[in-house]
Amino acid sequence: MTAQTVVAAQLAIELRGIDKRFGAVHANKYIDLKVEKGTIHGIVGENGAGKSTLMSIIYGFYEADEGQIYIDGQATRIADSKAAIAAGIGMVHQHFMLIQNFTALENVILGAEGSMLLNVSMATARNELERLAREYGLDVPLDIPVERLSVGLQQRIEILKALYRGARILILDEPTGVLTPQETEHLFKVLAALKEQGTTVMLITHKLQEIMAATDNVSVMRRGEMVAHVETSATSREQLAELMVGRKVLLQVDKGEANPAKVLLEVKDLSWRNASRVLRLDNVNFTVRAGEIVGIAGVSGNGQSELLDVLSGIQTLQQGSINLNGHVISSAAPVNPAQVREFKVGHIPEDRHKMGLINSFAADEAFVLGYHRKPEYNYRLLTNRAAITADCVEKMAKWDVRPQDPTLKTANFSGGNQQKLVIAREMEQNPDILLVGQPTRGVDIGAIEAIHQQIIGMRDAGKAVLLVSVELEEIMSLADRILVMFDGKIVGEIPAQMATETMLGLMMANILPDEVKQLQSGAQS
Amino acid sequence: MSQTRIPGWIYVVVIPLINIMLAALAAAFVFWYIDVNPIEAVVAMAIGAFGDSYGLGYTLYYTTSFIFTGLAVAVAFHCGLFNIGVEGQAYMGALGLGLVCLFLGGKIPFILLLPLSIAAAGLFGGLWTLIPAWLQGYRGSHIVITTIMFNFIATAVMSYLLVEVLKPQGSMSVESAVFHPDSWLPKMYEVFAYFGFTIRRSPLNISIFWALLCTVGVYFFIWRSRWGYEIRALGQNASAAEYAGIGPGRTIIMAMMVSGILAGFFALNVVQGEAHQIKFGLVNGMGFTGIAVALMGRNHPFGIVLASLLFGFLYQGGSELQFEYGVDPRIIIILQGLVILFSGALEHMMKHPVERAYLALSQKFQHQTVAEG
Amino acid sequence: MDTFNSLILILDATLRVATPLIFAALAGMFSERAGIVNIALEGKILASAFGGAAAAYVTNSPWLGLLAGVAVGIVFGLMHAFATVTHNGDQVVSGMALNILAAGLTAALGNYWFQQGGNTPNLVDQVNGIDARFSPLTLPFADRLEDVPIIGGVYSELFSGHFLLVYMALAAVPICWWVMFRTRFGLRLRAVGENPSAVDTAGISVVKMRYLALIICGGLAGLAGVYLSVAVTAQFIPNMSAGKGYMALAALIFGKWHPRGALLACLMFGILQAIADRSQGATIGSIAIPVQLIEALPYILTVVLLGGFIGKAVAPKAIGKPYTKERE
């Protein structure tokens, strides 16, 4: 395609200057985007890059603060999902929008019944769906409740929903995260068939291999901005990885040499399935020694959260074993979070709002969350409020948590100070092992440095630190050893000195750079 | 999140006050409709409720009942649970207390019987929550429905016991025998008389002191004990509670049992303090009033005492209205419903308008000071 | 022969007792399937009973009474929707508020309008020329078939001689089933109770669906109330709903939120009530079964069911949670 053929009418979607803020968060910064008709267009970016917001705007879930959307060259206002559907846009969400106890047929016709009587709607739909199945390879059993179908089949229903409504533009948000390799292959066959028929496909993903294999054009987002737009044939995985994470000056943390001593945390053959029986941890093995920081990198959703949950006792261990500070945890001897704390393990959770803090509690009560039963905080029957408050005042001063008001509700602290509170709480209890998840999420620059210093401090004091983060900078500047997780597995391990963003970016997309392969074969021989 | 921070007192004082005023406004409308001047009505009610020691006695007698049921509902609310079963738990508390009074009344001195009757009232009330609490904590069964069912089951159980077991021979009324006078709680006018003061007779009895004691006790339990900490944590954020190692099953059972115990104490006031026998339907809807009291008092013991006083006023004043205007005292139930509606169901309705008004006013004030400065 | 007669009489009573429960359970089904917990059935029944009886008396027409009762039910349904859907109020608290409001309003207004201690005047008052009660319907040939053995008894006693509303209740079951499972509206309503986000992304208004659900709920509850006051008792008596709203809710849950199951559960409750009425002093062997035990049985069974001990009662997934778009 030459530049001349890319005229307005050939663009299925064009975005000009789309801008969206959520309070202080500038999710989309004046985005321009051109998607050519009848192509498969990829959109890549890390977590928090703004991809989901952008797609939500296109699908009418939000309206942009500024900017214009052009569908087929016409300026179109998409105020809600109905308008998006009318404009020919269909979306396959990352978290399926299906009614679990309806059949596939019922799910497809919901909202597009075409007739008041279900029997009539269903008969019409059945014919149409059979046609679509034949044409695009989207076979799905139509009369079984959706909850009994595999994830891959459920996704096909989502696609059928869109096609049934006459979608000419199909957006897929991280479609392959939940699919097996075979299902993924099939999906791309379907997309190719759709493209053949003139449907435009937008593929949101962080999996670079798929982008290279399936798309015609790629747009890269980073921190709310659209930073690049390239033809897939003219780029490479490495280039995309670099564009995705950006070339930034690393915030160098002053860090001495690590002196790892004995193993305090050992994970052996850990596998774990969630409530829906999906395998989220796949044979995980690693150790953490006293006096070192082990960083776990990876795109969010690849098992890191589950790993922290199992290690901290929030989720029960199913298969494998964990040795926490000399205490062995196996499926025969499970533990709860209170016991884990007694093993001198601290846990800074990934989501302080969901787990780490209770919004309506005052700061001093927040400082004892998880430790509220300790004798130093209690008399026989009542709690020792004086001790708790004094403790809080002392810690707030030491950690510069502002405002230094122990009676202030945690909801009223800024994000950075809330995080400092959680970190202070866990570190001040002097654990031997510290589990840390996303320590600087939602924290401003000023506080980040302090937090990083504290984490290094723990390491230098001889603690074993396990750091989970989606921020590559953070991992690279703090960790002594870096493990990368993908799809519930540890795909590779490198010493921090060796790591570069590109290398890690590739590993995060499950592509092993040669250097790592050499390392691994070297280790084996 | 808004840019300017809106102070906490807006949410804790202003909005609840506005909600109650809306309820009062709606109630005034009802009064107006039935040809009763709302102002006159309120005055009549006030005189009836506070005008003399007879009215005041009755008011405080009702207040005592509502403190117990209100505290019961509030404790459960702190754990995120809606205990609608206070009605049945109070009924069962009456059973426990009644059994102690029937079997030990006159046989052991009052000073020994009283702790036993208190314990029995609390124990029976608490045990009646056990099954619904266990089902919610360990099997996820909706506690609202199970506690409502247990209200009905309590009625059936008590009906059976009163008719078949506790009813004295030859009696036609569905009630137990009268307790031995040695087991009766002293009434307040008797206490006053003991010290040489004369006040008019009313059902107000010493259980009001126990109610106030429980109020203080609940405060310490919820905000100054580790169990209360866990109950509040679970009620506010179940994920954080899990993170903190707070087991939901056992915490729910604890909260509900305390709630049931408080509900059981209701019987001290109504049964051991006034009726001196177990009567059918003795709770008479006051378990449900407890819900209104708890919502109005924002689940805080201090607020509950105030709200109980208000409802005591409404109940006693309602009797006065019937006397003066022939108004059905059940009109008080309308007020109760309106309070629950505006303070509970529609509690968010005024949030945005009030926030906007505050921001607008504060900006205006700032401009003024800037202009003046 | 005697047992046969007893059986007929019990089944006859069953239908009479079950009718308000059937209407109320169907009402609850629409509301709960749309995701709104409906503790307020009790209040809606009570309010409609009052409105229906009052209107029937004043207009001397049971039919206008019926319309009024249904209208009152719908008004309560709208109030419920206003609190829970528009203002995202707690569904259970709203329900309790409505119940209590209904109890108070009916008694107070009743006393004010009719000065009979909260009752409405009797709808059958020949002295004053009032005849506003629904009369029982006699099916064709019922008289002549009365003496025919077995079939005659069944036809004339069991099938014939019921109020119109009884037949309407029985007819309502398949109609509601059809609406819920064979129409577009029913599909969408069920979807709202399972996954409101999915419905929203399909371009359907969750708010509109929930309002409609509560309006239908109010109307059906209205029929239950009207039956109690305008047909059975011929007047309104304070608190005459006597827990039927809660029993209907229990029946609905017992029937797994399905019309067929709800019908069977209501009939079961009805049979238990009818048997209880006839079995003062029944015995198993030498142990007398307390009538209170039989009365309590439906509630005990509901608790057992909720505990997951007789199969799983799987409620609509999104029930009880107000729907808000994320990231407001």
Does a cis peptide bond (omega within 30 degrees of 0) precede residue A403? yes
Pairing status of strand A464-468 against strand A292-297:
parallel
Q: Residues of C with CB below 8 A from A121's CB?
A: 184
Give the whole-angstrom CA distance, residue B359 versus residue A257.
54
Whether A357 and B230 lie within 8 Å, measured CB to CB: no
Q: Does B344 touch chain C (CB under 8 A)?
A: yes
In chain B, positions 187-246, which contact chain A (CB-CB < 8 Å)?
Answer: 220, 224-226, 229-230, 232-233, 236-237, 239-240, 242-246
Q: What is the DSSP letter of A92?
A: E
CB contact under 8 A, A121 and C184: yes
Distance from CA of C130 to the nearest CA of A (A): 44
Could you tell me the strand order of the sheet in which A319-324 lies? Answer: A279-289, A263-273, A319-324, A327-330
Contact C93 B153 (CB under 8 A): no
Domain boundaries, chain A: 3-245, 263-362+431-524
Q: Report residue A410 as tokens.
A: 């945690």
C181:A118 CB<8 A: yes
| Fold for the domain defined by A3-245 | Rossmann fold (3.40.50)
| pLDDT bracket for residue A1 (50, 70, 90) | very low
Q: How far is B213 from chain C (nearest CA, A)?
A: 28
Q: Most B CBs within 10 Å: which of A312, A383, A385, A418, as the mutation test of the B interface?
A: A383
Test mutation, B35, B174, B334, B339, chain C, max C CBs within 10 A = B334
Q: A55: closest CA among A95, A23, A25?
A: A95
Minimum Cα–Cα distance from C181: chain A residue = A118
- pLDDT above 50 (res C146): yes
Task: Answer yes or no: are the C-beta atoms of A304 and A437 closer than 8 Å.
Answer: yes
A263-362+431-524 matches A3-245 in CATH topology:
yes
Task: Tell whether the model's pLDDT for residue A112 goes beyond 70.
Answer: yes
> What pLDDT is attached to residue A423?
92
For residue C102, the chain B residue with the least C-alpha distance is B334
* CB contact at 8 A, B205 and B188: yes
Burial zone of A346 (CB within 10 Å; 0-12 exposed, 13-18 middle, 19+ buried): buried
A116–C contact, CB cutoff 8 A: yes
C243's CB contacts (< 8 A; 6+ apart) are: B152, C42
The size of the A-B interface in CB pairs under 8 A is 68
Q: Do B243 and A361 touch (CB under 8 A)?
A: no
Shortest distance between the Cα of B197 and any Cα of chain C, in A, equals 39
What's the pLDDT at B72? 98
Instruction: Report the alpha-carbon angle B171-B176-B181, nearest 5.
Output: 110
Question: What pLDDT score does B145 carry?
Answer: 80
Distance CA(B187)–CA(B53), nearest Å, equals 13
**Distance from C-alpha of C160 to C-alpha of C145, rounded to nearest angstrom:** 11
What does each C-alpha distance from A92 to A59, A163, B113, C325 come to in angstroms? 10, 11, 70, 18
* Residue A42, beta-bridge partner list: A203, A218
d(CA A98, CA B145): 29
Q: Does B159 touch chain C (CB under 8 A)?
A: yes
- B254 contacts in A (CB within 8 Å)? none
The model's pLDDT over A218-251, given as tens digits with 9 standing for 90+, comes to: 999 888 888 889 999 998 877 887 787 765 434 4
Contact C214, C74 (CB under 8 A): no
Domain boundaries, chain C: 2-306
Beta strands in A65-216 (DSSP E): 66-71, 74-76, 89-92, 169-173, 200-204
Ramachandran region, residue B6 (left: φ > 0; alpha: ψ -120 to 50; beta: rest): beta
Q: Do A97 and C197 touch (CB under 8 A)?
A: yes
| H/E element, A465 | strand A464-468
Distance CA C61, CA C56 (A): 5
A229 CA: distance to closest CA in chain B (Å): 35
Q: What is the mean pLDDT of chain C?
A: 84
Lowest mean pLDDT among A91-100, A402-411, C116-125, C273-282: C273-282
Residue recorded with tokens 């990885």: A241
Yes or no, beta carbons of B237 and A373 under 8 Å apart? no
Pairwise CA distance, residues A91 & A101, whole Å? 21
Cβ-based contacts of B330 with chain C (< 8 Å): 103-104, 107-108, 111, 118, 238
Please tell me if residue A147 touches chain C, with a CB cutoff of 8 Å: no
C-alpha closest to that of B147 among B88, B93, B94: B88
Q: What is the pTM of this model?
A: 0.81
Q: Mean of the pLDDT values across residues C66-85?
A: 94
Q: Which two tokens stand for residue B176?
A: 């137990």
What would the mean pLDDT of A398-415 be, rounded to a whole number?
A: 86
Q: Classify the C-alpha dihedral A350-A354-A359-A363 as positive or negative.
A: negative
Distance set, CA A479 to CA A262, A420, A438, C269 (Å)? 17, 20, 13, 67
Mean pLDDT, rounded, of chain A:
86
CA distance C323 to C318: 9
The yes-or-no verdict on residue A461 having pLDDT over 60 is: yes
Does the distance separating the beta carbons of C107 and B330 come in below 8 Å? Answer: yes
Chain B residues closer than 8 Å to A370 by CB: 243-245
DSSP SS3 for A76: strand
Instruction: Give the number of residues written for chain A.
Output: 525
Nearest CA in chain C to A161: C202
The predicted structure's pLDDT at residue A7: 58
- Chain A interface residues (partner B, CB cutoff 8 A): 23, 312-314, 336-341, 347, 349, 354-361, 365, 368-370, 372-373, 377-378, 381-383, 385, 409, 412
Residue type, A227: V
Of residues B132, B145, B340, nearest to C253 (C-beta): B145
More confident residue, A306 or A416: A306
In order, the DSSP letters of A273-310 are E-TT--EEEEEEEEEEETTEEEEEE--TTSSHHHHHHH
Provide the shortest C-alpha distance from residue C169 to chain B (in Å): 25
With beta carbons under 8 A apart, name residues in chain C contacting B163.
292
Distances (CA, A) of B14 to B9, B162, B354, B357: 7, 47, 9, 12
Residues of B in contact with C319 (CB under 8 A): none
Q: CB of A38 within 8 A of CB of A5? A: no
Which residues of chain B make contact with A408, given a CB cutoff of 8 A?
Answer: none
A339 and B240: CB-CB below 8 Å? Answer: no
Residue of B92, B144, B321 for testing the chain C interface, max C β-carbons within 10 Å: B144
Which of B4, B10, B221, B229 to mutate to probe the A interface, most A CBs <10 Å? B229
Contacts of C296 in chain B (CB under 8 A): 152-153, 156-157
**Can you give the pLDDT at residue C156?**
67
Q: Which residues of B touch C290 (CB under 8 A)?
A: 160, 164
CA–CA separation, A56 vs C290, rounded Å? Answer: 63
Paired tokens of C158: 């069991």
Residue in chain A closest to B247 (alpha carbons) equals A336
Q: Tell me the pLDDT tens digit for each residue of A428-452.
A: 999 999 999 989 877 766 677 788 8
Would you tell me which residues 251-270 of chain B have a C-beta closer than 8 angstroms to some C-beta of chain C? none
Average pLDDT over residues C145-151: 69
Instruction: Using CB atoms, list chains with 3+ pairs below 8 Å to chain A.
Output: B, C
Distances (CA, A) of A95 to A98, A104, A145, A157, B185: 9, 16, 18, 13, 63
Distance CA C65, CA C54 (A): 7
Residue of C nearest to A165 (CA): C202
At C293-303, the pLDDT tens digits run 887 887 887 78
- C partners (3+ CB pairs within 8 A) are A, B
Q: Which of C78, C304, C306, C323 would best serve as a mutation to test chain B binding (most B beta carbons within 10 A)? A: C306
Q: Which residues pair with B272 in a beta bridge?
A: none
Quickly state the pLDDT bin for C216 (edges 50, 70, 90): very high
C323 in Cβ contact with C89 (< 8 Å): no
Tell me the CATH class for C2-306. Answer: mainly alpha
**CA triple B56-B116-B294, angle to 5 deg:** 45
Q: Does A82 touch chain C (CB under 8 A)?
A: yes
Tens-level pLDDT at each residue, chain B (373 residues): 334 566 767 777 777 788 888 888 888 888 888 777 888 888 888 888 888 888 899 999 999 999 999 999 999 999 999 999 999 999 999 999 999 999 998 899 999 999 999 999 999 999 999 999 999 998 888 888 889 889 989 999 999 999 888 888 888 888 898 999 989 999 999 999 999 888 888 999 999 999 999 999 999 999 999 999 999 999 999 999 999 999 999 999 999 999 999 999 999 999 999 999 999 999 988 998 899 899 888 899 988 999 999 899 888 888 887 777 777 667 778 888 888 888 887 878 888 888 888 888 888 877 776 665 4
Give the H or E element holding residue B56.
Answer: helix B53-78
Closest CA to B113 of B123, B99, B101: B101
What would the DSSP string read from start to end of A374-408? Answer: -GGGB-SSSB-HHHHHHHHHHHHHHHT-SS--TTS
CATH classification number, A263-362+431-524, choose in 3.90.226.30, 3.40.50.300, 3.40.47.10, 2.60.120.10:
3.40.50.300
Q: How many CA atoms lie within 13 A of C128 on its CB side?
A: 10
